[in-house]
Amino acid sequence: MTQSVVVQVGQCGNQVGCRFWDLALREHSHVNKKGLYDEALSSFFRNVDSRKGDGRTCGVGGRIQHLKARAVLVDMEEGVVNEILQGPLREVFDSTQLLTDVSGSGNNWAVGHMTYGSAYREQIVEKLRRAAEHCDCLQCFFLIHSMGGGTGSGLGTRVLSLLEEEFPEVCRIVTSIYPSAEDDVITSPYNSVLAMRELTEHADCVLPVENQSLVDIVSKIQHMSHGAKPGQVIRRDSAIISGRGGLSAAEKPFDAMNNIVANLLLSITSSARFEGSLNMDLNEIAMNLVPFPRLHYLVPSLTPLYTLADVSVPTRRLDQMFSDAFSKDHQLIRADPKRSLYLACALMVRGNVQVSDLRRNIERLRPSLPFVSWNQEGWKTGLCSVPPVGHSHSLLALANNTCVKPTFVELRERFTKLYRKKAHLHHYLHVEGMEQSCFSEAIASLGSLIEEYHHLDATKGTLMPDAPRLSISR
């Protein structure tokens, strides 16, 4: 079995990360009744025998002693991490996994990327190496951060390039939280565009999530659970929004939103953590979904979100889950994949679902989904036998789809609005290592990315002739 390491950077990164650890623990305690440290647990947790004191990891098969998350927590202020260390998850991390400063990045990408990036470079690398040394086969890094602030955005993307330098063979999957249009961080367009260039150049896959979508989903769920019609009852113990994970009690403002992101992470890692009849290895994600190196933005959608199925599932409900994954209101960014062009699509299913269910639903949905001409059969599927807690099955769809383009275009517009007025620019240009060219290169990189999606989009609906085959002279 392989292991993965989660790197959570900044306020948002750490808050989302902690929801993931909380729910992951709950999920494992639900499945693992014997209290033994098994392969499933070992993929994201170490088992440390505290009596030995040297922090060494115990092998798979023994009793669970102390579970430690395979994680590195980085923040340039102390608030969030301190809260974690006083909260119920404190046991899961030890001080050697943490890196904090006191003064924060002031929502300035340059401070995070340049100032802290240079100051903490050695320490970050050291912590990453240590986390890697605890793994006997490290397969993947999961980076979690927000795009709009300073630490997650700036330092987070610096960590990304360090990962590439230090561990070129280990896959880098980034979960990036994009700011909403009314974000309270005024400089968020700058930070996001500067971060985008790094993501485009250094990540293997990016899972973009928009805060606005999370807000919409959460309010719809709350609306439903209050005005509950029969058949639309949200089960209280459902992991989707309930903040009551394995450990934490009270809910904080972002918790409901972050739980959705945490569920995305639970799903994408489920195949690495549990058995299944059709395993989807983490390194298969990029291989199947990324046809061109820069076009690695995979739009996630999660089901069920609104109505939660009963334990015994009539087929219609199951099929509904597949339909929902392609509907607008289940996407974690504001986008409509059905009206754009698919380059490739993965369906990661959990629970009691058979290959024949997959095949039936793909056949059913395919006619309504436009795929690029050279990848008409661009489906990748995975089946994991363990469903999320409180569900009989769930589905995560990852779409490499040109529907990400409007989000990027909108971001560019917000950037341009500020940049034209040179608003706040001096805060950035003060920072050592930061130059005007960083801005122009970042916006050019985003521009060409948009252009690449645009070119593909333009092929939609046109019947491309088959490429003329090689002729063989006899």
Partner 1 sequence: MSVVTVQLGQCGNQVGQELFGIICSDAQEGQRKTYSAASCERFFHQTAHGDFVARAVLIDMEPKVINHSMTKAATSGRWRYGDTSHFSQKQGSGNNWANGYCVHGPRHREVVEELVRREVERCDRLAGLMAVMSVAGGTGSGVGTYVTQCLRDIYQKSFILNHLTWPYGTGEVIVQNYNSVLTLAHLYQLSDAILVHENDTVHRICSQLLNIKHISFSDVNRVIAHQLGSVLQPALTADSHGAYSRNPLGELVSTLACHPEYKLLNVCTIPQMPSSSIAYSTFSWPGLLKHLRQMLISNSKMEEGIDWQVRPPAGSEQTRSLTGASFNTSLANLLILRGKDVYSAETDGFEDPALYSSWLSSKEAFNLWKSPVPFNKYEKSATLVSNSQALLRPLDNMVGKAWNMFASRAYIHQYIKFGISEEDFLDSFTSLEQVVASYSQLC
Between residues 41 and 194, which has the closer beta carbon with respect to ligand GDP? 194
Determine whether 319 is exposed, middle or buried from the number of CB atoms within 10 Å of its CB (0-12, 13-18, 19+). middle
Site string for ligand GDP, 378-417 (x = CB under 6 A): ----------------------------------------
Cα Rg, the chain, nearest whole Å: 22
CB 149 to ligand GDP: min, Å: 2
Kindly state the tokens that stand for 177: 């939280």
When asked if residue 292 is in the footprint of partner 1 (CB under 8 A), the reply is yes
When asked if residue 257 is in the footprint of ligand GDP (CB under 6 A), the reply is yes
90 three-state secondary structure: helix
> What's the CA dihedral at 243, 249, 250, 254 to 10 degrees?
-30
- By CB under 8 A, what part of segment 369-398 binds partner 1? 373-375, 377-381
Kindly state the tokens that stand for 184: 């309270």
Q: In sequence order, what are the residues at sequence separation of 6 or more whose Cβ sits closer than 8 angstroms to the Cβ of residue 282?
A: 2, 4, 139, 140, 171, 173, 268, 269, 271, 272
- DSSP secondary structure letter of residue 63: B
Count of residues of this chain found to bind partner 1 when the rule CB under 8 A is applied: 43
Distance CA 198, CA 5 (A): 20
Site string for partner 1, 119-148 (x = CB under 8 A): -----------------xx-x---------
Of the candidates 7, 10, 217, 361, which one interacts with ligand GDP according to CB under 6 A? 10
Which of ligand GDP, partner 1, Mg ion, none lies near 293, with the C-beta cut-off 5 to 8 A by kind?
Answer: partner 1
Q: What is the DSSP track for 224-279?
A: HHHSPPTT-PPPTT-TTT----SS--S--TTHHHHHHHHHHHHHHHHHHHS--SB-
Of the candidates 7, 114, 170, 177, which one interacts with ligand GDP according to CB under 6 A? 177
When asked if residue 347 is in the footprint of ligand GDP (CB under 6 A), the reply is no
| Residue given tokens 């050279």 in the structure block | 374
When asked if residue 344 is in the footprint of partner 1 (CB under 8 A), the reply is yes
Distance CA 355, CA 457 (A): 31
When asked if residue 258 is in the footprint of Mg ion (CB under 5 A), the reply is no
Between residues 145 and 405, which has the closer beta carbon with respect to Mg ion? 145
Which of Mg ion, partner 1, ligand GDP, none lies near 105, with the C-beta cut-off 5 to 8 A by kind?
Answer: ligand GDP
Only one of the segments 88-96, 173-181, 231-239, 282-290 lies at the binding site for partner 1 (rule: CB under 8 A); that segment is: 282-290
- DSSP secondary structure letter of residue 72: E
Angle, to 10 degrees, between the axis of helix 10-31 and the axis of helix 79-86?
20
Only one of the segments 28-36, 84-92, 356-364, 390-398 lies at the binding site for partner 1 (rule: CB under 8 A); that segment is: 356-364
Give the type of residue at 347. Answer: L
When asked if residue 11 is in the footprint of Mg ion (CB under 5 A), the reply is yes
When asked if residue 290 is in the footprint of partner 1 (CB under 8 A), the reply is yes
Angle, to 10 degrees, between the axis of helix 188-202 and the axis of helix 436-458?
70
Count of residues of this chain found to bind ligand GDP when the rule CB under 6 A is applied: 24
Determine whether 191 is exposed, middle or buried from the number of CB atoms within 10 Å of its CB (0-12, 13-18, 19+). buried
Angle, to 10 degrees, between the axis of helix 405-420 and the axis of helix 436-458?
150
Binding site for ligand GDP (CB under 6 A): 10-12, 15-16, 105, 107, 146, 148-153, 177, 179, 183, 185, 188, 211, 214, 254, 257-258
Binding site for partner 1 (CB under 8 A): 1-2, 136-137, 139, 275, 277-279, 281, 283-284, 286-293, 343-344, 354-356, 358-359, 362, 373-375, 377-381, 466-467, 469-472, 474
